[in-house]
Structure formats: structure tokens, C-alpha cells
Chain A
Amino acid sequence: MMAQTQIQTESTPVLEVRGLTQRFGGLKAVNDFNVKLMPGELSGLIGPNGAGKTTVFNLVSGFYQPTEGEILICGVKTARLKPHKVTALGVARTFQNIRLWNDMTVLDNIKVAQHSQLGYGFFHSVARSKTYMKREAEIEQEAFELLEVFDLKDFASDFPKNLPYGTQRKLEIARALSVHPQLLLLDEPAAGLNSNDAKDLIRLIRWIHDTFDVTIWMIEHHMDVMMELATQIKVIDFGETIADGNPEHIRNHPAVITAYLGDDNI
């Protein structure tokens, strides 16, 4: 265990965030946030409603430009990069409110997420060039494989809007993995799921983590999901980091208990 940690600290972190601050007008949604995720980690980010968790994800995925601080993905600074460039560096995410492309088939949802790796452009697509045919076949095959392992193959030509909620959540994760990410950000993957589905989700996330060689960082209100999966958890409240450590440490941390006082989730 010790030796393994040693090796990991020597390689570049998948994600390094230093002094991240985000202001919305007078509101400091995130203040001086720091984190370092090593390859293969599965960590968590929790906090009461409005704590700034989603804002952190929005900053990391390049959707907002931070007021202060810097973000490094696999050692590359993301300052002023457009979100699709950040994604191309290896960050994929899901959204708190599912954001699938509802009028495109499940298969196309998966395929389009490969846009940064297409390797052909407009003229190839119109000329149906060799490159195009080859890449398109590869993309399609890969998409089918992904659907297969996610047990979604039967829905390939369905529209996401017609799928059950839990399946949509699963599809959104599959779509994120289609990006070939180094870092997968999951924003409340268990939100809206019943306890059975949540159990499946725990298994799914663990399986993804073992199979896809990806670092996972997730936000979750279901404490059982979080305690079961994450090895490291950060707690924020009003944009401030109030605790940081393993699940056991977090569970008994006085500041966390105070922050969540009255919240049934813990």
C-alpha cells in the first residue's frame, strides 16, 4: 500500500487545482480551493446545497473561467482554454441534471462524444474518403462495444428521452467515457435513483474504475454511495474547504457535522 502511494505521488497528477476562486458578482461561490488527484484515484466532493460543488466541476471542465487560481489537467494549464479543448485534454463529465441529446439516437450520443478524436473534417465527410470510412467504422464499432459493456445495446437506436431515468444516467456516464477521459467527473450520479438503482450504480462506478483506467471524482449527496466508493473526500461549505480526508475521518469531523446539521442525508 505504502509503496503504491509512493509510485503515484511521483507521477503527474491527473488533476491539480491551486487556489481556485470563483466570484459571481458579490458571491464567492468557491474560495481558495485546492485539490490534487493522482492517476487511478476515486475521490469525492461533498457539501450542503449551494456549497459550490457544481461550480468546481464547471471550472475544471472549462465551462467557467476562474476568477483566481489555476487548474492543471495532466500537467497542462487550462487557463483560457475553451471547454472542448479541456475535454480533449482528458476530462469528461456528467451533469447534475441529465444533459443528453434527446433527439439523437443513443448510438449517436455516444459517437458524437468522440468529436475531438475524429481525425477527419468536412471534405472527408462529403467525399466519403478512405480516412472517413475507416474512422467512421472504428467509431461505430467502439460505440457499440461501449453500449455492449454498459448493457445498453438494445437501446442503440432509441431516443434517450424515451429511456427510464436510471438508464439515462447510465447512458450519460457511457457517453462521458466515449471521450476517452483520464479524469471522469460525476455530478450527483445517484440523484433521483431509488436505493436499488443506487446499489447498482455503486457497482457500476466501481466496475468502471477497475475497467477503464480512469480517475474518478464525484459529487454525491447519498452518503452511503460516497462512503462506499471514495477513498478521499473533500467537504466544502459556502465555497470554503472545511474538511479533507478518508470517509471515516469525514464522518466524525465536527465541522462537517455542524455544516450538515439538520440535513437528513448524513
Chain B
Amino acid sequence: MKQYSLNMLLVVFAIGLLFAAHFRIIDGYIQIVFMTIGINIMMSTSLNLVNGNMGEFTCGHAAFMCVGAYISSLLSVFCFGTKFGEPLLPAASVVIVFPIIVLIGGAFAAVSSLLVSIPSFKTRDDYLAIISIAVNYMIISAIENMDFVGGSRGFQGMKDTVWAMVDLFDGPWMLFWVINFTVFTVWVIRRFISSTYGQGVNAICQDEVAAEIMSVNTNKIKIINFMVAAGLAGCAGGLYAHIIGYVNPQSFNILKSTEALVMVYLGGMGSLSGAVISAILFTGLLEVLRSQAIVDGLLSPITFMFPDWEPSAGVIKWVMIPLLLVIVMQFRSEGIMGNRELGDVFPKLKKFYRFK
């Protein structure tokens, strides 16, 4: 019972959400918010593997999201779109093929992570951070210079795939996929990191020399850890591309990477539940800050003194979020959860669920 309680709760929640979306109890906007939460959970939990569990400081996670987004978008348009001519596959197969497309995008992203993981054999800390930023720029610039995917104008046509799904059954398909992939992400990470094999990642974080000398193949574990993290970010990218229906290299620039970083540090490094919680809070906060009325309200003490200043919500968001990070780092540098999990903070919860 205890073993399945969490799973059952999730299933009930997911079905409830899908029903609510299907019968228009929640509107398109709320659905988008929920999907963004899912994508952000995928991004923060996967980055947490590298920055939290392994203790490397990388800040180019959006690069892998970008690779996943473009690869799956291309495949999607080839298979079901009309942009490059006749669709390769019958529209009826879309429900089976779509998750495969997303996973292939993730696989390419995983391979592209070698650009960071191989340098990480010899480099750490600041130097690796710089390498990861460089890789972020490299990948974006490479795509900006590829005319067949639209270059800096971006790429679209993925909505054909979504419509093909809607033609089969008129339901909230993308919400369905996001829920599934989010659960899949957390599940993969949890199982990997809690195995003795995955504990090697934590050992590398805490003392790499001791890890190598106590029989951990540190280079291999680094490659695998980066690949898992990048692969899952790639899947997040694939889903994102299909939700928006349009991708642009600049959507995956350093700002996007920073968002993922903020979530990881907000949640607490190395804490999976922290990464999930902070992704939810962070997405919620972003949505709140989109409202001009709320931003105006929050800033009224300041705008009162500078009547000429009219802050716009879209811009002020990028003042508020870094400010939040500064405050968190100053007063609770270990993040919301520290490196503990929910069950460690509230031991009573452990009576009700088991999560393996």
C-alpha cells in the first residue's frame, strides 16, 4: 500500500488534470502553465544531476534543450508535416511515433553533452562553467547559421503533428505527454541516483580522487551522468517545441540556462524533491510577474518616488528573479530543501509513501 500510495496519488492527479482540461474546466492558459511547470521540472531535476549531485558548475543546460527541440521538431515535420513535402508516416501512427521522436531528440542531446563531459575529465569549477557557456553559444550559433531549419528566424510546422493527434482524438494531448515525460524524468533520475551505481556521482562530488581510487570509473560516470541530464533536457526541449509550435535558437540562450540554474539553487543542490518544488514555485512566480497589475502594485513604493518610470512586467521579471536568487543565496544558501529530500525534512511523510 505504502509502496504505491505516491504513484496512485500521481495517477489520480494526472487523470483529474486531463479530465479538467478535456472538459474545458481549466482553460488553455492554465493548461500552458501546467505544461510549463512540467517542462521546468524536467529542466531543473536534470540540471540538478550535474550541478547538484555531481557538484560541477555548468551553466549551459539550455543548449541540450535546444538540440532536443530542433531534432524532434525536424523529425516531427518530416514524419507528419507538409513543410518538406508529403508526410513520411500515416497520421494514425502519430500517437506511437511522437514519444519516440521526443526520445530521439533526447538521445541527440545526450550525445551532444560529450562536448561538456569530455572536457570535464580534466577541468572543474570555473573553467568547466566557461566551457558550458561556450557550448551553449556554439550550439545556438550553429543553428542560427543553418538555413534549412530557418536560421535565426526559427523553425515551425510542428503543430501539424499535434493536430494529427487531435484529429485522432480531440483531447489535451500535449498536457498528456508532458505529464508522462515529467513523471518519466523524475523516475529515471530517482532510480539512477539511488542505486549504488548512481551513488558514484555523489562520491565524485564529494571527493573525486577518493572516488577514482576506491574503484569508481569517474570518467565513465561523468559521461553517463551528463548524458542522462542532457538527454532529459533534450526531451523537455522536444515537448516545448511542440507546445509552442515554433522554435527559435534564441529561446535557448543563456537566459534559459539561467532559469534552470535558478531553479536548482532555489530548490537546494542535490535534492530531487527540492528541484521539483522549486520548479513549481518558480513557474508560478513567473506567471504572477507577467501580470502588469501585480508588478505595478509591487513596485508602487518605488514608482511613487520616480513618477516617470513605467516598469514593464516582461523586463522586471529579470530583475525580480535574480533578486530572488540573491536573497536565497544570502539567507538560505542551501536552498529550500538543502541537499535533503522531502522525506528527510518531514519524517512523518515517510509513513505514507515510499519512493524508489
Asked if A115 and B215 sit within 8 Å, CB to CB, the answer is yes
Q: A132 vs B202: C-alpha distance in the bound complex, in angstroms?
A: 19
Residues on B with C-beta less than 8 A from A116 are 215, 217
Query: Closest residue of chain A to B187, judged by CB?
Result: A126
The reply to whether B206 and A104 contact each other, CB–CB distance below 8 Å, is yes
* A136 contact set on B, CB distance < 8 A: 195-196
Smallest distance from the beta carbon of B280 to chain A beta carbons, Å? 24
Q: How far is the CA of A116 from the CA of B213 in the complex (A)?
A: 11
B212 near A121 with CB under 8 A, answer no
Tell me, rounded to whole Å, the shortest Cβ–Cβ distance linking A197 to chain B. 22
Closest to A98 in B: B210
Q: Are B195 and A101 closer than 8 Å at their CB atoms?
A: no
Q: Is the CB of A104 within 8 A of B202?
A: yes
Given A84, A93, A126, A128, which contacts B216 in the complex, CB threshold below 8 Å?
A84
Task: Verify A115–B206 contact, CB threshold 8 A.
Answer: no
Q: What's the nearest-Cβ distance from chain A to residue B26, in Å?
A: 32
How far does the alpha carbon of A128 sit from the alpha carbon of B356 in the complex, in Å? 10
Question: Contact check: which of B188, B206, B209 meets A102 at CB < 8 Å?
Answer: B206
Contact: A125 with B197, CB < 8 Å? yes
Contact of B203 among A101, A125, A132 (CB under 8 A): A101
Residues of B within 8 A of A111 (CB): 196, 199
A175 touches B214 (CB 8 A): yes
Contact in complex: A87, B214 (CB < 8 Å): yes
Q: Are B214 and A126 in contact (CB under 8 A)?
A: no
The smallest beta-carbon distance between B202 and chain A, in angstroms, is 6
Tell me the smallest distance from the CB of B111 to a CB of chain A, in Å: 15
CA distance A95 to B212 in the complex (A): 13
Known: A103-B202, A112-B200. A84 touches B195 (CB 8 A): no
| A125 / chain B contacts, CB cutoff of 8 Å | 191-192, 195, 197-198
CA distance A128 to B196 in the complex (A): 12
A115 and B196: CB pair below 8 A?
Answer: yes
Smallest Cβ-Cβ distance to B225: which chain A residue: A122
Give chain B residues whose Cβ lies under 8 Å from the Cβ of A62.
213
- In the bound assembly, the distance between CA atoms of A233 and B192 in angstroms comes to 46
Question: Which single residue of chain A is at the shortest CB-CB distance from B217?
Answer: A84
What's the minimum C-beta distance from A190 to chain B, rounded to whole angstroms? 20
**Inter-subunit contact B192/A115 (CB<8 Å):** no
- A139 contact set on B, CB distance < 8 A: 196
Interface residues of A in 153-203 (CB under 8 A from B): 175-176, 179
B207 interface residue (CB < 8 Å to A): yes
Complex contacts, B217 vs chain A, CB 8 Å: 82, 84, 115-116
Given contacts A83-B212, A112-B214, whether A126 and B188 have CB atoms under 8 Å apart is: yes
A118 (CB) vs chain B CBs: closest residue: B197
Q: Does B286 contact A (CB under 8 A)?
A: no
Q: Pick the contact of B215: A87, A99, A122, A128 (CB < 8 A).
A: A87
Q: Does A92 contact B (CB under 8 A)?
A: yes
Closest chain B residue to A116, Cβ basis: B215
* A128 B209 Cβ-Cβ under 8 A: no
Instruction: A47 to B97: give the CA distance in the assembly, Å.
Output: 68
Cα of A7 to Cα of B198 in the assembled complex, Å:
43
CA distance A103 to B271 in the complex (A): 13
Q: What is the minimal beta-carbon distance from B184 to any residue of chain A, in angstroms?
A: 10
A232 CB to nearest B CB, Å: 25
A88 to B219, alpha carbons, bound, how many Å? 15
Name the CB-closest residue of A to B191. A126
Is there a chain B Cβ closer than 8 Å to A113's Cβ?
Answer: yes
A100 to chain B, nearest CB (A): 7
Nearest CB of chain B from residue A254's CB, rounded to whole Å:
37
What's the Cα separation between A113 and B215 when bound, in Å?
6
Assembled-state Cα–Cα distance A108/B199 (Å): 8
Q: Which residue of B lies closest to A139 (CB)?
A: B196
Q: Decide yes or no whether A114 CB sits under 8 A from chain B.
A: yes
Q: Report B282 CB to chain A, min CB distance, Å.
A: 25
Q: Judging by beta carbons under 8 Å apart, are B211 and A103 in contact?
A: no
Task: Tell yes or no: A120 within 8 A of B by CB.
Answer: yes
B228 at the interface (CB under 8 A from A): yes
Interface string of B199-236 (1 = CB under 8 A from A): 11011001101111111111100001000100000000
Assess the B210–A118 pair: CB atoms within 8 A: no
Complex Cα spacing A115 to B210, Å: 12
* Residue in chain B with minimal CB distance to A140: B196
**Complex CA distance for A104 and B209, rounded to whole angstroms:** 16
**Complex: A251 Cα to B281 Cα, angstroms:** 69
Could you give, for residues 22-39 of chain B, a 1 whenever the CB lies within 8 Å of some chain A CB and a 0 otherwise?
000000000000000000
Cα(A132)–Cα(B192), bound, Å = 11
Choose among B196, B200, B202, B219 the residue with the greatest number of A CB atoms under 10 Å from its CB. Answer: B196
Q: Is A65 an interface residue (CB 8 A)?
A: no
Residue of B whose beta carbon sits closest to that of A121: B197
- By the criterion CB–CB under 8 Å, are B215 and A84 in contact? yes
Q: Which residues of B contact A122 (CB under 8 A)?
A: 192, 197, 224, 228
Distance in angstroms between the alpha carbons of A150 and B196 in the assembled complex: 21
Complex Cα distance, B191 from A83, in Å, reads 27
Q: Is B251 an interface residue (CB 8 A)?
A: no
In the bound complex, CA of A111 to CA of B198 (Å): 11
Interface presence of A61 (CB below 8 A)? yes
- B339 within 8 Å of A (CB atoms): yes
A residues lining the B interface (CB < 8 Å): 61-63, 82-84, 87-88, 92-93, 95, 99-104, 108, 111-118, 120-122, 124-126, 128, 132, 136, 139, 175-176, 179
Instruction: Apart from A99-B207, A113-B214, list 7 A-B contacts with CB within 8 A.
Output: A87-B213, A87-B215, A100-B210, A101-B203, A101-B206, A116-B217, A118-B196
Residue contacts A-B, CB under 8 angstroms, 7 given:
A83-B212, A101-B202, A112-B200, A113-B214, A115-B214, A122-B197, A132-B195
